[in-house]
Amino acid sequence: MTTGLPDEEFRSEDQVDTGKFSLVAQELFNHQIKNWKLAADGYQSLSAVHIKKFKFDNFSIEAHFNPGRIISSSAKVDAKSISERPCFLCKENLPYDQKAVKINENYILLVNPYPIFNTHFTIPSVNHVPQLILSEMGNMLSISKMLGKNYSVFYNGPECGASAPDHLHIQAGDFGFMKIDTEHESMARAYGKTVYQENDLKTTAVQGCLRNYFSVESEDKTKLTAEFQKIFYALQNGKSRLEPMMNIICNYNSRWRLLIFPRSNHRPGYFYEEGENNILVSPAAVDLGGVMIFPRDKDFSKISAELIKDIFMQVTLSGARFGAVADKLGNR
């Protein structure tokens, strides 16, 4: 694949200092908004995004009216629809002007032309394989470290906001855009309970801030990956589903911080309502990170603190179910 960029074909975490890959990413971004009209228009349109801010105890949520996200929010992700469309993350289907940079043997970096963030990357697997995170956590952590502290890297489960559930991918956007990037620490102080601690690894259950979630912090990639697997299996609870429903947000700033949001539903009831009660909202990692995306003005104008609470309640794990998983993780 040609990038039109200085040739830096192969990189790996070992070859690249922490965060240094962000320079390559920025170079790709600059190239694309200069040479690809769809991307240029997409980022230009962000200046017209309207924002409403809601303050809760120890955290905040923003609602963004972003019409460019209509494709993703309304994406049909049932097996039939997926099988009938060409996959937009397979390299042979990329638009002519979309350039890719190879990150490592398994992943490439693409500029997302329908952005939420001021700098928004899609990071697909080189291969067309299903969206499943368990075996990919090592790659996600490596990529997060390569991009460094100025980016949050995130994952949407196949039924938790991923618009290509058939093609493995993660995404990255500017750190600090999602409210939780900077509010997690105060949320963890107010609502968190340490469920496990060992040397530099710490797992916290954060409960009571609209969406219950786990944070895992460590400098050790192997330990962090093993801890993620424990959480994965605790959430799976022996059920046959390939992957427990979840969204994940990761950042690296001298250590990794993984935020894991267990889910109970793909979309809230409002999504399926007819007529006036219908709200086009399809919560994914960014929404759970505190920035809710509404592609239609009529939905954005309706949004209230009560509605936000209700949407979160409908798609995240209840206190009882989350508490049971936290207890299981604590008993070892």
Question: What is the contact surface with Zn ion in residues (CB under 5 A)?
Answer: 87, 89-90, 128, 167
Minimum CB distance to Zn ion smaller for 49 or for 87: 87
Minimum CB distance to Zn ion smaller for 37 or for 76: 76
C-beta of 104: minimal distance to Zn ion in Å? 18
C-beta of 108: minimal distance to Zn ion in Å? 12
* Residue from 231, 216, 214 nearest 141 by CA: 216
Token readout for 216 is 């895992």
Q: Rounded CA gap, 77 and 159, in Å?
A: 8
Give 169's strand partners. Answer: 124
C-beta of 85: minimal distance to Zn ion in Å? 10
* Helix (H/G/I), strand (E/B), else coil: 244: coil
Asked whether the beta carbons of 122 and 155 are under 8 A apart, the reply is no
Minimum CB distance to Zn ion smaller for 128 or for 321: 128
**Dihedral over alpha carbons 102, 36, 120, 288 (to 10 degrees):** -120
C-beta of 165: minimal distance to Zn ion in Å? 11
Minimum CB distance to Zn ion smaller for 124 or for 295: 124
Q: Distance of CA 168 to CAs 127, 132, 180, 245, 272, Å?
A: 8, 7, 25, 15, 26
Q: Is 254 exposed, middle or buried (0-12, 13-18, 19+ CB in 10 A)?
A: exposed
At residue 297's C-alpha, the angle toward residues 296 and 299, to 5°, is: 70
> Exposure pattern of 79-112 as b/e (b: 16+ CB <10 Å)?
eeebeeeeebbbeeebeeebbbbbbbebbbbbbb
C-beta of 129: minimal distance to Zn ion in Å? 8
Minimum CB distance to Zn ion smaller for 31 or for 128: 128
Minimum CB distance to Zn ion smaller for 70 or for 90: 90
C-beta of 139: minimal distance to Zn ion in Å? 17
C-beta of 128: minimal distance to Zn ion in Å? 4
In the complex, residue closest to Zn ion by CB: 87
Minimum CB distance to Zn ion smaller for 148 or for 165: 165
